[in-house]
Amino acid sequence: MQYRRLGRAGLKVSELSFGSWVTYANQVDTSLARELMSTAYDHGVNFFDNAEVYAGGQSEVVMGEALKALCWPRLDYVISTKLYWGISEGLGAINGENTLNRKYLVSAIDGSLQRLQLDYVDLLYCHRPDPETPIEETVHALHDIIVQGKALYWGTSEWSADEIRAAHDVADKHGWHKPVVEQPQYHLFHRARVEREYARLYEDIGIGLTTWSPLASGLLTGKYKGGIPKDSRGALPGMAFLRDGLTDKERNAAVTKLEELAHDLGGSVAQLAIAWVNKNPRVSSVILGASKPAQLEENLKASALTPKLSPEVLARIDELTLSLSR
């Protein structure tokens, strides 16, 4: 396992990390979460990703219980969570839903820390941009959260390049803590934002990337070539929005050809897809998801496959996938 700086920040994270979207509290209980996190940790993973909204807060609860049971030294691991969607009901949702206003952020970080049973998170992401709240208000509140010791760094998730630059410039103007990382979707069929839209940000402001969905929600495992398996993520309640993409004929045909290439390299198509993301020098960490330890162990082998992605192999991957990406 290699470790990379989070953009220009001094914090180092494992090149492959473990995230809890979908799995925790939906497919995984505390005991299995502990086993999955322990498996990742034993393979050198030091970065674990979460969010307030995952399973309505229960994902943070499950991770918090697992961390308590594992008793790792706090310096050994990096925890992130994300705020924006909110989990409040009734009147609380007025100022606590789909927002990055100061009142919500100050309250929500306390809730996340309580559920995670932590004194601080290492990374706090703004899960989406908020066009209704002045960017000065959001950045100032995040700066204050860091000053209070409740988070060490902050970043964004699925923000446009212009929005990230605006937040950075406001922070720079006032001497506030700047965003150091963006968390975008990035995989072989979803490339434009990372490779084109953000291109200037890497050098101009030194933003790092922790990317999600390297397997395109499972499409790049090959298991959807014959439809939606009953025990798959695509079959879960609430995942219907993924199904058209998972059964796309052209992309599944490309996956078949990628499987042949992966075999020639001594790996699986899933490992190849993860390694391809990992090969991008702008990526600080590739966030993996898994509901079984064996599945996680297989995906973590992508770290060893990454050096095998020569310029010729990368060109062949582009030949198979670039025209199908967006």
239: confidence class by pLDDT, cuts 50, 70, 90: low
In contact, 12 and 5? CB cutoff 8 Å: yes
With residue 18 as reference, give the H or E element that holds it: strand 16-19
Our answer to whether residue 186 is catalytic in this structure is no
**Is residue 233 included in any domain, yes or no?**
no
Give the distance, in angstroms, between the CA of residue 69 and the centroid of all CA atoms in the same chain: 24
Structural domain for 281, as ranges: 3-220+268-309
pLDDT at 18: 97
Average pLDDT, the chain: 93
Question: Is residue 48 predicted with pLDDT exceeding 60?
Answer: yes
Would you say residue 256 lies in a domain? no
Q: How confident is the model at residue 247, as a pLDDT?
A: 76
228: left (phi over 0), alpha (psi -120 to 50) or beta: beta
27: confidence class by pLDDT, cuts 50, 70, 90? low
* Confidence class for position 253, pLDDT limits 50, 70, 90: very high
277 belongs to a structural domain: yes
The answer to whether position 231 is within a domain reads no
3-state class (DSSP) for residue 256: helix
Statement: residue 81 has pLDDT above 90: yes
Residue 231 in this model has a pLDDT that exceeds 90: no
What is the structure's pLDDT at 227?
A: 65
Residue of higher predicted confidence among 290 and 209: 209
> What Cα–Cα distance (Å) separates residue 294 from each residue in 40, 42, 285, 297?
11, 13, 21, 5
Total domains present in the chain? 1
Indicate whether 228 pLDDT > 70: no
Q: What is the reported pLDDT for 248? A: 83
174 in any annotated domain: yes
Can you give the pTM of this predicted structure? 0.93
**Mind listing the pLDDT tens digit for each residue in 263-286?**
999 999 999 999 999 999 999 999
Catalytic residue (one of 24, 54, 84, 186): 54
Angle between helix 269-279 and 293-300 (nearest 10) = 50
The alpha carbon of 153 is separated from its chain's Cα centroid by a whole number of angstroms, namely: 15
| pLDDT in the model for residue 30 | 82
Of 56-60, 68-72, 166-170, 246-250, give the lowest mean pLDDT range: 246-250
Q: For residue 47, what pLDDT band results from cuts at 50, 70 and 90?
A: very high
Residue 140 within a domain: yes
Residue 17: pLDDT band (50, 70, 90) is: very high
Contacts of 7 (CB under 8 A, 6+ apart): 180, 181, 206, 207, 208, 209, 284
Q: What average pLDDT does range 199-228 have in this prediction?
A: 90
CATH label of the domain that carries residue 178: 3.20.20.100
* Pairwise CA distance, residues 291 & 124, whole Å: 24
Token digits for 88? 């409040």
pLDDT of residue 249: 86
Flag the least confident range among 4-13, 62-71, 245-254. 245-254
Is 319 within a domain? no
Mean pLDDT of the 179-193 span: 97
Whole-number Å distance between alpha carbons of 302 and 98: 35
Q: What pLDDT was estimated at residue 232?
A: 57
Q: Which of 19-33, 181-195, 294-308 shows the lowest mean pLDDT across its residues?
A: 19-33
Whether 12 has a pLDDT exceeding 60, the answer reads: yes
**φ, ψ of residue 175 in degrees (nearest 5):** 75, 25
* 295 falls within a domain: yes
Flag whether pLDDT at 234 surpasses 90: no
Residue 87 has pLDDT above 60, yes or no: yes
Percentage of residues in the chain having pLDDT higher than 90: 85
The tens digit of pLDDT for each residue in 128-182 reads 999 999 999 999 999 999 999 999 999 999 999 999 999 999 999 999 999 999 9
